[in-house]
């Protein structure tokens, strides 16, 4: 459905003097334009299945397009696009995730393909790299544990200090220590660091601090921790639980450039490899256990459908003689034990017969008088369903009448096709968020960050983990971090789509959607369709969706942008809806990859005509842009890579229509300032790049928290002015308003007091500033401005009686 957004729901508990300002914020954000809801057109007809088969690999390939009309046409095919779009001198280049069959189908439809950018081999290399990193850490731990055994003869200490750094931050002194313990892989004990109180003093005289394990992807890396100290220590000592000792000199940390908002001693860099959804959840659980006073784990209300499938097989090769079979039990619950054999009985005039022995199903095909097999697919299907219906269900291939004669097939084991180790749960999966804040009772302004709606996007979850760690691990010694954690209610959900996430790690690296099979038996429900199933979790939401007639989502169950059978049909989406419904959540970030974009609503339009969902008001858009420059500057600080202006703005302007996306639901349904990151350069970049992207976008996410905090504490009143220019029309002038900060302007031209019912100064058009008003010379303009936090210029009371608003009689400018 499409709803009119109701404005901000966050109501800070304000002192009485500011209550009016708060109510102004409510009025300010009710957008008159939002009442104009485009008429819902019929959804674009489902394109034919593009023909992806499960035994095909999918690559990221360029598609070369002439213009945005051709882009809309491509989107309408339901092809699986990543989030790249480049406007070149003579057209548009986008990236599609396609198999050979899909390339053939789209080429026949007139589309032109360019370079192949990312292949399944690249992904396999990333996984191998990750496995090798984890294995190397484990081997190193084993080697160290062996060398530093507990016997007295060992000369190797079982603990060694990697680094000890001292810094000052304002008046605060901090000591950060990293150490490796030989038993760290298997023993979760923290280590105690003793300090001296300066050169020549006794170790211990400066006090002590504990450091805790840093475990990544199940591999212990080292112990780390920082604490405030009262003097600069010269040496530190760690005595391990077995009594071994390590001593190290304390170093002075290099000063960080002053423009860096994080003080010296600010800890970052907490990810060492890609993490599967299971590992992401383990990580936030470990963090919440370590910081119980300022964080907790919340299990979201809806479990996924699970990393599980029915065991299946497709017997035969020609469409009309193929027999598809699915187990009734899930693969891991016995379905994988079922086997089917199509046997030639080798005698004349044999009847069609099915024998079930345990989980083995044998079909003896019928023969004619000369001993030739005569059973058709349709007949075999009927016989299997009649005689083996407690084990399996059989059907003809993709709606074929099944009139072809079936050939014999050797005993074939049905398979769910799932390759993840048994440690990956096959049950409906709980989805977890970590909630960070000193006050987690809804009384503080809420901020939500969520990642991995799209399974194959492996970097965005790391950005959320890195951010959570920065908040928790810097809390004790970094004043600015403490201000955020003490005053905000921060929800971080690292993986919205864990089933698809596991599938992308273990089975099909290009998986975008969830794992749920909504395809009918006469469609692509068979084993060969399994890499095309699933709902695009970023198209299944409630606002300006496919079901409302908007573009950029598909009704085809095999499409990369399949919107699902209905709005919020998927548990993953109901979880995001639940998170967004927290009444205090006011800002959000939906993290995707890739393309280095930074975007907000509207995210969809209806074609033809590109009728977009309502645009934010000028004040709202000003806040989006203003905050964007802060967030993007923070991202750039990491390695001087910039998100370009061309990639910043409303989704529908800078990317393409994405009907039913989550950002639109959060903005239009819940009034949340909802942003979208498209992190980095590809789904699964080489680790060095993935790491850099994680660091830079975590900078951006932390900056968004600062934006939220500043929004909450904004008591500064905006100021505004009117500029007057010569008009092309005689006797008229062109006037525009400008404001000192993101703010809305209400004005009158009839000398009446301006109120919230007066005309709201509007934006001129896409990505432009305020509109130009052309009015007669001598008109007196009355106006006031109000910022996004509800502060009114000059403390004017629009609903009161005072006259301390702005007034100006416009004269003809000179020249
Ligand atoms: Zn995505």
Residue 590 CA, ligand 1 centroid: distance in Å: 9
DSSP 381: H
- Residue 304 sits at φ, ψ, to 5 deg, of -70, 175
CB 220 within 8 A of CB 185: yes
Q: What distance in Å separates the CA atoms of residue 65 and residue 90, rounded to the nearest whole number?
A: 9
Question: What are the strands of the beta sheet with 773-776, ordered from one edge?
Answer: 720-726, 732-739, 773-776
Residue 267 CA, ligand 1 centroid: distance in Å: 29
User: Which residues have CB under 8 Å from 486's CB, separation 6+?
Assistant: 437, 438, 439
Residue 423 CA, ligand 1 centroid: distance in Å: 27
For helices 498-506 and 277-290, the axis angle rounded to 10 degrees is 120
Residue 460 CA, ligand 1 centroid: distance in Å: 9
CB 491 within 8 A of CB 585: yes
Residue 192 CA, ligand 1 centroid: distance in Å: 43
Residue 127 CB neighbours (<10 A): 16
Residue 678 CA, ligand 1 centroid: distance in Å: 7
HEC profile for 589-635? EEEECCCCEEEECCCCEECCCCEECCCCCHHHHHHHHHHHHHHHHHH
Residue 536 CA, ligand 1 centroid: distance in Å: 9
Residue 542 CA, ligand 1 centroid: distance in Å: 18
Q: What distance in Å separates the CA atoms of residue 730 and residue 720, rounded to the nearest whole number?
A: 27
DSSP 544-588: S-GGGT-SS-BS-TTSTTB--SSTT-SHHHHHHHHHHTSTTEEEE
For helices 459-474 and 687-713, the axis angle rounded to 10 degrees is 60
CB 474 within 8 A of CB 228: no
Confidence at residue 31, expressed as pLDDT on a 0 to 100 scale: 33
Q: What distance in Å separates the CA atoms of residue 140 and residue 218, rounded to the nearest whole number?
A: 14
Which residues lie at CB < 5 A from ion ligand 1?
454, 592
Q: What distance in Å separates the CA atoms of residue 688 and residue 707, rounded to the nearest whole number?
A: 29
From the candidates 262, 378, 620, 678, which is the catalytic residue?
678
User: Which residues have CB under 8 Å from 153's CB, separation 6+?
Assistant: none
Residue 705 CA, ligand 1 centroid: distance in Å: 22
Q: What distance in Å separates the CA atoms of residue 223 and residue 177, rounded to the nearest whole number?
A: 8
Residue 678 appears among annotated catalytic residues: yes
Confidence at residue 374, expressed as pLDDT on a 0 to 100 scale: 97
Question: What are the strands of the beta sheet with 648-650, ordered from one edge?
Answer: 295-299, 432-436, 488-493, 445-451, 585-592, 673-678, 597-600, 648-650
- Residue 160 sits at φ, ψ, to 5 deg, of -140, 145
Confidence at residue 640, expressed as pLDDT on a 0 to 100 scale: 77
Residue 520 CA, ligand 1 centroid: distance in Å: 26
CB 477 within 8 A of CB 265: yes
Q: For residue 773, what are the β-bridge partners?
A: 735
Residue 453 CA, ligand 1 centroid: distance in Å: 7
HEC profile for 748-761? ECCCCCCCCCCEEC
Give me Rg for the CA atoms of the chain: 31
Task: List the structure tokens of 75.
Answer: 């989107």
Residue 83 CA, ligand 1 centroid: distance in Å: 7
Confidence at residue 149, expressed as pLDDT on a 0 to 100 scale: 65
Residue 538 CA, ligand 1 centroid: distance in Å: 7
Residue 508 CA, ligand 1 centroid: distance in Å: 16
Q: What distance in Å separates the CA atoms of residue 36 and residue 745, rounded to the nearest whole number?
A: 21
For helices 618-639 and 687-713, the axis angle rounded to 10 degrees is 140
Q: Burial level of 674, CB count in 10 A (0-12/13-18/19+)?
A: buried
Q: What distance in Å separates the CA atoms of residue 710 and residue 696, rounded to the nearest whole number?
A: 21
Residue 93 CA, ligand 1 centroid: distance in Å: 18
Which of 534, 630, 626, 615 lies closest to 573, judged by CA? 534
Confidence at residue 39, expressed as pLDDT on a 0 to 100 scale: 38
DSSP 666: I
Residue 454 CA, ligand 1 centroid: distance in Å: 5
Query: Residue 675's Cα: distance from chain center in Å?
Result: 11
Low-confidence ranges of the chain (pLDDT < 70): 1-48, 149-155, 169-171, 253-261, 618-619, 642, 645, 763-769, 815
CB 559 within 8 A of CB 523: no
CB 474 within 8 A of CB 426: no
DSSP 261: S
pLDDT tens-digit series, residues 407-465: 999 999 999 999 999 999 999 999 999 999 999 999 999 999 999 999 999 999 999 99
Residue 606 CA, ligand 1 centroid: distance in Å: 21
- Residue 103 sits at φ, ψ, to 5 deg, of -60, -40
Residue 498 CA, ligand 1 centroid: distance in Å: 14
DSSP 665: I
Residue 576 CA, ligand 1 centroid: distance in Å: 15
Q: What distance in Å separates the CA atoms of residue 735 and residue 776, rounded to the nearest whole number?
A: 10
DSSP 287: H
Residue 317 CA, ligand 1 centroid: distance in Å: 35
Buried b or exposed e, range 177-196, using 16+ CB within 10 angstroms: bbbbbbbbbeeeeebebbbb
pLDDT tens-digit series, residues 378-392: 999 999 999 999 999
CB 204 within 8 A of CB 219: no
CB 305 within 8 A of CB 503: no
Beta strands in 3-131 (DSSP E): 59-65, 81-88, 91-98, 112-118
CB 682 within 8 A of CB 635: no
| Cα angle: 111, vertex 115, 119; to 5 degrees | 110
User: Which residues have CB under 8 Å from 577's CB, separation 6+?
Assistant: 541, 542, 568, 665
Classified as helix, coil or strand, 279 is helix
Q: What distance in Å separates the CA atoms of residue 57 and residue 98, rounded to the nearest whole number?
A: 8
Confidence at residue 654, expressed as pLDDT on a 0 to 100 scale: 82
Residue 681 CA, ligand 1 centroid: distance in Å: 12
Confidence at residue 636, expressed as pLDDT on a 0 to 100 scale: 82
For residue 258, how many C-alpha atoms fall within 13 Å in the half-sphere facing its CB? 1
Residue 20 CA, ligand 1 centroid: distance in Å: 41
pTM (two decimals)? 0.80
Helix or strand (DSSP H, E) at 704: helix 687-713
Residue 680 CA, ligand 1 centroid: distance in Å: 12
Classified as helix, coil or strand, 475 is coil
Q: What distance in Å separates the CA atoms of residue 620 and residue 700, rounded to the nearest whole number?
A: 20
Q: What distance in Å separates the CA atoms of residue 216 and residue 237, rounded to the nearest whole number?
A: 25
Residue 552 CA, ligand 1 centroid: distance in Å: 13
Buried b or exposed e, range 334-373, using 16+ CB within 10 angstroms: ebbbbbbbbbbbeeeebebebebeebbbbbbbbbeeeeeb
Question: What are the strands of the beta sheet with 759-760, ordered from one edge?
Answer: 759-760, 743-748, 780-787, 806-809
Beta strands in 121-218 (DSSP E): 159-169, 172-181, 191-195, 207-216
- Residue 341 sits at φ, ψ, to 5 deg, of -130, 135
Q: What distance in Å separates the CA atoms of residue 382 and residue 395, rounded to the nearest whole number?
A: 8
Residue 360 CA, ligand 1 centroid: distance in Å: 43
């Amino acid at each position: 459905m499409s709803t009119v957004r109701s404005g901000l729901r966050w109501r800070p508990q304000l002192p009485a003097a500011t209550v009016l300002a708060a109510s102004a914020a409510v009025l300010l954000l009710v957008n008159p334009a939002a009442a104009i809801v485009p008429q819902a057109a019929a959804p674009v007809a489902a394109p034919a299945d593009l023909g992806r088969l499960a035994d095909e690999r999918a690559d990221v390939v360029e598609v070369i397009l002439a213009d945005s009309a051709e882009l809309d046409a491509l989107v309408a095919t339901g092809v699986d696009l990543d989030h790249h779009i480049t406007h070149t001198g003579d057209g548009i280049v986008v990236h599609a995730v396609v198999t050979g069959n899909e390339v053939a189908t789209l080429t026949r439809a007139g589309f032109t393909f360019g370079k192949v950018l990312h292949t399944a081999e690249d992904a396999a290399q990333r996984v191998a790299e990750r496995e090798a990193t984890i294995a190397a850490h484990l081997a190193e731990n084993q080697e160290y544990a062996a060398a530093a055994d507990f016997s007295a003869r060992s000369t190797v200490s079982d603990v060694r200090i990697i680094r000890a750094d001292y810094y000052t931050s304002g008046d605060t002194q901090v000591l950060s220590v990293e150490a490796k313990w030989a038993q760290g892989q298997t023993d979760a004990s923290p280590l105690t660091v003793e300090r001296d109180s300066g050169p020549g003093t006794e170790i211990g005289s400066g006090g002590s601090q504990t450091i805790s394990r840093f475990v990544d992807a199940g591999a212990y890396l080292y112990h780390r921790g920082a604490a405030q100290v009262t003097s600069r220590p010269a040496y530190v000592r760690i005595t391990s639980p077995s009594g071994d000792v390590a001593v190290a000199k304390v170093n002075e940390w290099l000063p960080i450039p002053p423009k860096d908002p994080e003080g010296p001693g600010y800890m970052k860099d907490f990810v060492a490899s890609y993490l599967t959804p299971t590992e992401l959840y383990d990580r936030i659980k470990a963090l919440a256990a370590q910081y119980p006073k300022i964080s907790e784990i919340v299990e979201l209300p809806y479990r996924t459908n699970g990393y599980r499938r029915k065991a299946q097989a497709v017997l035969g090769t020609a469409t009309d003689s193929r027999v598809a079979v699915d187990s009734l039990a899930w693969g891991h619950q016995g379905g994988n034990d079922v086997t089917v054999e199509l046997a030639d009985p080798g005698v004349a005039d044999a009847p069609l017969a099915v024998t079930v022995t345990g989980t083995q199903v044998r079909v003896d095909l019928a023969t004619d008088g000369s001993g030739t097999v005569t059973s058709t697919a349709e007949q075999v299907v009927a016989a299997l369903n009649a005689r083996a219906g407690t084990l399996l269900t059989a059907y003809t291939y993709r709606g074929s009448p099944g009139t072809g004669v079936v050939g014999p097939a050797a005993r074939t084991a049905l398979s769910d096709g799932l390759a993840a180790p048994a440690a990956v749960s096959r049950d409906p999966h709980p989805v977890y968020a970590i909630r960070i804040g000193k006050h987690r009772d809804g009384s503080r302004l809420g901020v939500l960050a969520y990642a991995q709606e799209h399974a194959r996007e492996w970097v965005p979850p790391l950005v959320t983990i890195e951010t959570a760690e920065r908040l928790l691990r810097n809390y004790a010694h970094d004043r600015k971090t403490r201000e955020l954690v003490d005053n905000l209610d921060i929800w971080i959900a690292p993986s919205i789509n864990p089933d698809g996430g596991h599938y992308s790690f273990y089975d099909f690296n290009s998986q975008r959607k969830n794992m749920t099979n909504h395809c009918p038996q006469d469609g692509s429900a068979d084993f060969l369709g399994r890499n095309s199933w699933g709902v695009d979790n970023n198209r299944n939401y409630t606002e300006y969706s496919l079901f409302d007639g908007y573009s950029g989502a598909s009704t085809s169950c095999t499409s990369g942008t399949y919107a699902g059978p209905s709005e919020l049909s998927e548990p993953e989406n109901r979880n995001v809806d639940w998170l967004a419904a927290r009444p205090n959540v006011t800002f959000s970030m939906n993290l995707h990859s890739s393309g280095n974009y930074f975007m907000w609503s509207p995210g969809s339009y209806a074609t033809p005509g590109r009728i977009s969902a309502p645009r934010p008001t000028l004040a709202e858009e000003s806040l989006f842009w203003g905050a964007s420059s802060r967030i993007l500057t923070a991202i750039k600080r990491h390695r001087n890579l910039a998100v370009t202006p061309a990639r910043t703005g409303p989704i529908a302007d800078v990317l393409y229509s994405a009907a039913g996306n989550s950002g639109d639901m959060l903005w239009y349904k819940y009034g949340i300032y909802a942003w979208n990151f498209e992190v980095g350069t590809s789904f699964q970049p080489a680790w060095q790049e993935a790491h850099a992207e994680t660091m830079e976008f975590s900078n951006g996410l932390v900056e968004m928290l600062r934006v939220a905090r500043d929004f909450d504490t904004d008591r500064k009143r905006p100021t505004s002015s009117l500029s007057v220019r010569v008009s092309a029309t005689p006797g008229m002038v062109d006037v525009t308003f400008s404001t000192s900060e993101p703010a809305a302007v209400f004005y009158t031209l009839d000398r009446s007091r301006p109120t919230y019912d007066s005309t709201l100064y509007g934006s001129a058009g896409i990505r432009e500033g305020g509109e130009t008003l052309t009015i007669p010379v001598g008109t007196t303009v009355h106006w006031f401005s109000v910022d996004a936090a509800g502060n009114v210029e000059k403390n004017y009371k629009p609903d009161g009686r005072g006259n301390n608003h702005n007034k100006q009689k416009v004269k003809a400018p000179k020249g």
